[in-house]
Amino acid sequence: MASATSRVIFMGTPDFAVPTLEALLDAPDFDVVGVVTQPDRPAGRGRDVRESPVKQVAVEADLPVFQPETLRSPEAVEHLRVWTPDFLVVTAFGQILRQNVLDLPRVAPINVHASLLPRWRGAAPIQAAIRAGDTYTGVTTMVMNAGLDSGPILLQDSIPILPYETGQSLHDKLAPLGANLLIHTLRWLLGGSISPHEQPSNAELITFAPQLKKEDGEINWRQSADEIDRHVRAYKPWPGTYTMWEGKLLKILAGYPVAIDIGVPPGVVADTQGAAFTKATPFVIGTGRWAYAPTQLQLAGRQVMEAADFLNGASGFLGSRLGSVPEPEE
């Protein structure tokens, strides 16, 4: 090391990046000389302009903050160069970095990614792992290159995906795991005890998790009940899952698969009266295999309700067909 501490530029934006920034601030051998985050954006129903979670932490710590719309301009690159970093640490920043930015740090540009690369490269690895039915996942630190999460791996750490894991619960486990892994990565890299190794090139091992859109949350009732369950859990809280009922958007916030053939087509709501169901499950919905039992729902413009309360106020719900599933052919 050229000095007692290594100079770090941190790049990140959402909640997932906060524990990594906090870990760097707590480490005496690293000096965060600047933070780069996305510009303040309108958010929420009132569309009030909000600072990113990373910016809020940086401001509280009295760190220099840089919020460019893009890092492609020579002026933006020069802004970073003046900070003379030893490391560039990137965690869920939200922009693709060009090689001229990756070349700035003296030691290396390091990324903290929420999957066990090369599985689930891309913007939404946490949701992708749950939806695919993976039994474990983890975090990876890598030396960044100009590709999409394709740089050489430094360290990895894994955890199991529990049967009732949601996108939020897995996010909350992986964020601190990644922070801890990053500190070990930087120290061990400086000490020469680890070195980068290329990711496997086997195409069967490489999967992608593109950025999610709101419309990705629509439920396809022709999928199996297990697939729908993973969909609902993976996309909680964002982008959420929904279906359509009588022309209105109906959010499905929680539920579980029921391993029984209820004898109705996909998307049809069936009464469970007289069946071996709990009181909290007054109805189930037909799927491509078995049935799905929602436990929390929210009709557009209404509050979140438990299944029994929802049914009490939803005349005509039982026996109706949800979503855009077409009527079966005669």
What CATH code would you report for 214-312? 3.10.25.10
Class of domain 6-205: alpha beta
CA separation for the pair 104, 205 (Å, rounded): 31
What pLDDT score does 43 carry?
74
Coil, strand or helix: which one is 76?
A: helix
Q: Is a pLDDT exceeding 70 seen at residue 217? A: yes
Coil, strand or helix: which one is 171?
A: helix
What pLDDT score does 318 carry?
95
CA atoms within 13 A on the CB side of 286: 18
What pLDDT score does 240 carry?
97
Segments making up each domain of the chain, as ranges: 6-205, 214-312
Q: Is a pLDDT exceeding 80 seen at residue 3? A: no
Average per-residue pLDDT for the chain: 93
Cβ-based burial of 295 (10 A; exposed 0-12, middle 13-18, buried ≥19): middle
pLDDT tens per residue, range 171-209:
999 999 999 999 999 999 999 999 999 999 898 999 999
pLDDT tens per residue, range 12-28:
999 999 999 999 999 99
What pLDDT score does 2 carry?
42
Note the residue count of the chain.
330
Q: Residues near 316 by Cβ (< 8 Å), separated by ≥ 6?
A: 246
pLDDT tens per residue, range 243-299:
999 999 999 999 999 998 888 999 999 988 655 555 567 899 999 999 999 999 999
DSSP conformation letters of 232-256? HHHTTTTT--EEEETTEEEEEEEEE
Q: Is a pLDDT exceeding 90 seen at residue 325? A: no
What pLDDT score does 272 carry?
82
pLDDT band at 53 (very low <50, low <70, confident <90, very high): very high
Q: Is a pLDDT exceeding 70 seen at residue 60? A: yes
CA separation for the pair 6, 39 (Å, rounded): 27
Q: For the chain, how long is the longest CA-to-CA vector?
A: 78
What pLDDT score does 46 carry?
67
109: preceding bond cis by omega (within 30 degrees)? no
The amino acid present at 4, given as its one-letter code, is A
pLDDT tens per residue, range 97-137:
999 999 999 999 999 999 999 999 999 999 999 999 999 99
What pLDDT score does 73 carry?
93
User: Phi-psi bin for 97: left (phi > 0), alpha (psi -120 to 50), beta?
Assistant: beta
What pLDDT score does 276 carry?
55
What pLDDT score does 49 carry?
85
What pLDDT score does 274 carry?
54
What pLDDT score does 48 carry?
82
Q: Structure pTM? A: 0.93
Equal fold, 6-205 vs 214-312: no
Q: Is a pLDDT exceeding 50 seen at residue 1? A: no
Three-state secondary structure of 121-154: ECCCHHHHHHHCCCCEEEEEEEECCCCCCCCCEE
Please report, rounded to a whole number, the percentage of residues in the chain having pLDDT higher than 70: 94
